[in-house]
Amino acid sequence: MKIEIGESLMLSFFKHVKMCNFYQLNWKVSSNWKISNESYNNVQIIYKKILNHPEFSEIFKSELNQLLKQSEIDVIGINSENIIYTADIAFHESGLNYGDKIETKNRVFKKLLRSYLTLLAYFPNKKYELIFASPKVNPATEKIIYTYFDILSKDFSNDYVSFKYIANEYFANEILLPTIEKSINDSDTNELFMRSIILNKIFEKSIRKNNKTHSENKNNISDDLIVEFEPEDKEIFEQELKRTKKANRIIYYHDGRIVTQFWDAKNYKTNLSGNIRSNNTIRNWKENGIFKVKCEIIYD
C-alpha cells in the first residue's frame, strides 16, 4: 500500500502530539458494518441540513447511503478521553489545487463534511475534531477557504464537534514542528515520517555543508543564501512579477521550517534582488537561520 509522507506526518502527529492510543492510515468503511436507527436518523438530519444549506448544497452529488459506503479518511485517531481525530491532508508542492479556486474549496469542505457524517454514523455520542491540513495554500485560495470555514464552524460546530483548517505557517507551527520535537525522545522507527526525521538528523551536518557549497552556483543575494525562482529564469520571473503583481516568498530554515510569505508586488518596478533582500525576515537571513528563499509567481 502506498503511503504518502503527509499522511505519515499526520499519523505521527496524532500519536505523539494528540496522544492517540489508536490510529490508522487510509481508514475505510466496511459494507458489513451496521448503523443503529438512532445514529442513522442523526446522520440524516445533518445530511439534509447540508443539502439545504445556501453555501454547501452543491457539495454532495450522491445519496446518503452511497456517500457513507464510499467514505475514506486519510488518518483517524482516538485518544484515552474518547476524542476522535480525523485528518485529510493535501500536499501539493505548488500549492493546494483541485482545479480552480471554487472546485478546490468545494473539495476541502466535501472531505470535512463527509468525515463528519461518517463519524456520526459509526462513532456516535463522542467528541470529534476534524482537520483539513495542507503545508502550502496560495493566498487567493486560502482567502476563499477561510470565508467558508467561518460559515462551517458557525453552522455545524458545537460542544462535541470542531473543524480545523491548518495550512502554511500555521501548519508548520501546529503540526510539523511539534511532531519533529516529539521525535527527539521517541525511537519508534515504524513510522515513515519519524524515520525520515531520524535520517535527516544523522546527516544534518553534511546537509548543511552541502547547502553552503551548492549556494555558490545559484543566483545569490549574498555568498551563502540560495535564491531560486519559479519560473526558473530570473528575467522571465521579473516580467511575470510586473504583470501579475503578486508572488510567494518561500523561506527555508536550517531547523526544517518552511514558511510562505505573500509578496504584494503592485508597486514593484525594478531591482529584483534588492526587493527580495529588503524583506525584514530575509535581510537578517544568517541570524534567522535561513539558507534558501524561493520566489514563486501566483497565477489566478
- pLDDT bin (cut points 50, 70, 90) of residue 104 is very high
Which residues are bridge partners to 108 per DSSP?
none
pLDDT band at 190 (very low <50, low <70, confident <90, very high): low
**What is the arithmetic mean of pLDDT over 97-103?**
88
What's the pLDDT at 219?
46
Mean pLDDT over each residue of the chain, to the nearest integer: 86
How deeply is 116 buried, as exposed, middle or buried, from its count of CB atoms within 10 A (0-12, 13-18, 19+)?
buried
Q: Are 137 and 168 in contact (CB under 8 A)?
A: yes
Eight-class DSSP state of 15: H
Label residue 57 by pLDDT band (50, 70, 90): very high
Work out the percent of the chain whose per-residue pLDDT is above 70.
Answer: 85
* Length, in residues, of the chain: 300
Q: Is the pLDDT of residue 217 over 60?
A: no
Q: Could you tell me the strand order of the sheet in which 290-297 lies?
A: 226-230, 290-297, 246-253, 258-264
| Percent of the chain topping pLDDT 90 | 54
Q: Considering only CA atoms, which of 58, 48, 153, 154 is closest in space to residue 103?
A: 58
pLDDT at 213 over 80: no
pTM over 0.85: no
**Whole-number pLDDT of residue 215:** 47
Give the position of cell 469542505: 109
Query: Per-residue confidence at 218, pLDDT binned at 50, 70, 90?
Result: very low
Q: Is 70 left (phi over 0), alpha (psi -120 to 50) or beta?
A: alpha
Query: 115, 144, 143: which is closest to 129 by C-alpha?
Result: 115
Q: Is the pLDDT of residue 214 over 60?
A: no
Which residue ranges form the domains of the chain, and what is each CATH number? Answer: 5-197 (3.40.91), 204-297 (no CATH)
The Cα 266–Cα 245 span in angstroms is 5
